[in-house]
Chains A and B, each alone.
Chain A
Amino acid sequence: MTNHIPVLIITLPLIAAFLQPVTGFAGFKLRNLVIITILLVLNGLLFMLVPDVALQGKTIYYTMGASDPSQFTQPGISFPVRIVLKIDSFSLFTGIIVGVVTLTTFLFSTGTVKEDKRKSYFSTLFLLFTAGLMGMSFTNDLFNFFVFLEISSISGAALVAYRTYRKHAPYAGYKYILISTIATTFFLFGVGICYAQYGSFNIQYINSVLAHSYLDKVAMLFIIVAMAMKAGSVPMHMWVPDTYAEAPASISAMLKASGMVTLCAMFRFTFSLFGPSSSGAGKINYETLGWIVIVLGVLSMFIGVTMALIQHDVRRLMAFHAVSQTGYMLLGVGVGIAVFAKGDGGAAFKAFGKMAMVGGIFHIMNNAFYKNLLFLTSGVMERRFGTRNLNGMIGLGHRDTLTTVVFMIGALAIAGIPPFNGFDSKLLIYESVYKFSPVLAIIAMFVSVMTLASFMKVFYSSFMGPRRDDLIVEGAPLTKGTKAGLIILAALIILTGLFPGIIVDGIIEPAVTALTQIR
């Protein structure tokens, strides 16, 4: 049974998605209970892999349809011929983020997304989205990655447009699918170039025979820029506020998780697919590539936060912050990439490059927790006041103590205030980036100050001031599921903030090692 964990992680939500029309007949509560159980099992399976994969550094392969799935290649054949799933510390890290985010957002949505008892559109699409993200995290096959990317894009677009009774939601869904289609098409061009040259879709195999020709670099360009666009990096980020704002709050949180997965995929392709090949042929210029990532990161940070500051729509404001936070991750990992293959025998990488990458990757996890918490609290605010406009909100702190407290935790975490988790990853980024370029570190700190100012604006506008019950359109107390989603995320923010050493040693550092260890 344990041998089949890799495939179970992907197939469980996939099977559950197709069972939704059946479980829907059993009633709303039972259907939700089944989904929550499946998501709990999913998280359990992921954490079962931590001792072997993250702590002991093992890599688990699962070859689909093979007599012995644990073998990378089949007897008598020197190269992989089937779809292979690969679980190493980095893919496990991505999977854990998806697992935690899907569980908490679904718990939240049980009390906030209304659906007719006999219909299961939302839950079906939600599980398909989860399956797509899990598949993207664990597949070692480029075409298979494309398929999962399509699954997540199509289900994501339908979820963005879920509230069809609203004026702009269907158009936002249309925008999401069109942007996704552009990205996936260019990704497919890149995959096609690789397949035409090397006759395989297997990432590890392609890397081992990669010639680093001009054509390979074109393929790399198509794949990495497409991933950057899906992750919402500036200047390809304009679709992010348009779509995140119109989706239900829980789906905005899932879209953010989707962005994190594509960002992780971008980093994986940079190293595992286009990294130095074992054949020893040529290599890409990591310093230039690192600087491209750094420039995208700095632009994302600055433009994201300044645009957030002038927003009155709480969800658009948070979406711009999502862009800004992506910039921190790009900056941290970009510095690591820039010094990765510097001709100094790896001295700069050991001195601060790896720390920058650890900071960037740690920020992905921290951001997944606090950004999702903030999106979920924006859902409560929208529900209470019936609007996303901050000008129409006031005094929510008098009514919803839990929402107020968790919002403060999320806001302080995103601004990098200790002892919350955003502080730990940002400190790692500041310290290491400063050694690379002090100017970049100062920009990052300035953006943090602007972030705090922006969230103080939200807190002042919506939570402070006199109690105004006449503005409340939905006063029903939050359900247990909704509260559970908020509390779990707030607890994770505090715990990872207080004990970052455990997370960094147990999950993040092994993930960075797996990423940079070219095999």
Chain B
Amino acid sequence: MNGKIIDLIIKPEIGIVWIPLLLVAVFFVFMVVFHVWGRKFFRNDYNENSDQVKPYNSGNLDEVNYSVKSSNLYWGFKKSMDRYFDIMKKFHDGDLNNYAKWFVIVVAACFLLIGGGLL
């Protein structure tokens, strides 16, 4: 980053630097290292045409139901915020009348600010 504004957040004295070409070079060096290293040390009995490529899920080779469904991801987080999401889902009910109401509410709130001399 060499811009005037960006200079404000680049602080070499505390180690914040931005050298793009170095980033790209480091990326490619890592790619080469992993490629070479991988060929030498990773397992060499990998066979693409065997069952090795199939998912292993606690001994269950049922491919169709292998994946955790998208709707089940972050279940705990969603469960803990059930009340919040119930309210939010009510607001997003697809009814245009309700959508328009929010516009009126925001306009009314701003009117109060103008009326109160705050704006």
Which A positions have Cβ atoms within 8 angstroms of B?
A: 175, 178-179, 182-183, 186, 214, 217-218, 221-222, 225, 228-229, 235-236, 238-239, 241-242, 284-285, 288-289, 292, 303, 306-307, 309-310, 312, 354-355, 358, 390-391, 393-394, 418-419, 424, 427-428, 431, 453, 457-458, 460-461, 464-466, 468, 498-502, 504-505, 508-509
Contacts and interface: CB of A to CB of B under 8 A. Distances in A.
Contacts of B30: none
Contacts of B14: none
Contacts of A312: 70-71
A238 B99 contact: yes
Interface in B104-119: 105-107, 110-111, 113-114, 118-119
Closest 3 CB pairs of A and B: A501-B3, A390-B70, A498-B20
Given A307-B92, A500-B3, 4 more contacts: A179-B99, A225-B110, A427-B9, A465-B67
The dominant DSSP class at the B interface is helix
B99 A460 contact: no
Contact of B70 (A214, A355, A457, A504): A457
A358 B5 contact: yes
Interface in B32-87: 53-55, 63, 66-67, 69-71, 73-74, 77-78, 81, 84-85
Contact of A509 (B5, B96, B105): B5
A178 B119 CA distance: 29
A428 B103 CA distance: 31
Nearest to A354: B5
A457 B4 CA distance: 38
Nearest to A222: B107
Contacts of B99: 175, 179, 236, 238-239
Given A175-B96, A182-B103, A501-B3, A288 B113 contact: yes
A499 B20 contact: yes
Contacts of A466: 53-55, 63, 66
Given A461-B67, A466-B63, A466-B66, A307 B88 contact: yes
A235 B9 contact: no
A415 to B, nearest CB: 15
A178 B96 contact: yes
B70 A236 contact: no
A468 B8 CA distance: 50
24 contacts: A175-B96, A175-B99, A182-B103, A214-B114, A221-B110, A225-B103, A238-B91, A238-B92, A284-B119, A292-B110, A306-B88, A310-B78, A310-B85, A354-B5, A390-B71, A418-B23, A424-B6, A427-B9, A428-B5, A431-B9, A457-B74, A461-B67, A466-B54, A501-B3
A242 B91 CA distance: 13
B103 A229 contact: yes
Contact of B119 (A228, A285, A393, A394): A285
A238 B98 contact: yes
Interface string B7-30: 011000000000010011000000
Contacts of A214: 114
Contact of A309 (B77, B96, B111, B113): B77
Contacts of B66: 465-466
B6 A428 contact: yes
A241 B91 CA distance: 12
Contacts of B67: 394, 461, 464-465
Contacts of A309: 74, 77-78
Given A238-B92, A285-B118, A500 B103 contact: no
Given A178-B96, A284-B119, A428-B9, A221 B1 contact: no
A367 B23 CA distance: 22
B37 to A, nearest CB: 22
Nearest to A470: B64
B76 to A, nearest CB: 12
Nearest to B3: A501
B3 A509 contact: yes
Nearest to B113: A288
A404 to B, nearest CB: 16
Given A186-B107, A461-B67, A501 B6 contact: yes
Contacts of B105: 235
A501 B100 CA distance: 42
A66 B6 CA distance: 42
Contacts of B69: 391, 461
A179 B96 CA distance: 8
Contacts of A307: 88, 92
Given A182-B100, A284-B119, A306-B84, A221 B111 contact: yes
Central interface residue in A225, A289, A465, A501, by most chain B CB within 10 Å: A501
A218 B1 CA distance: 43
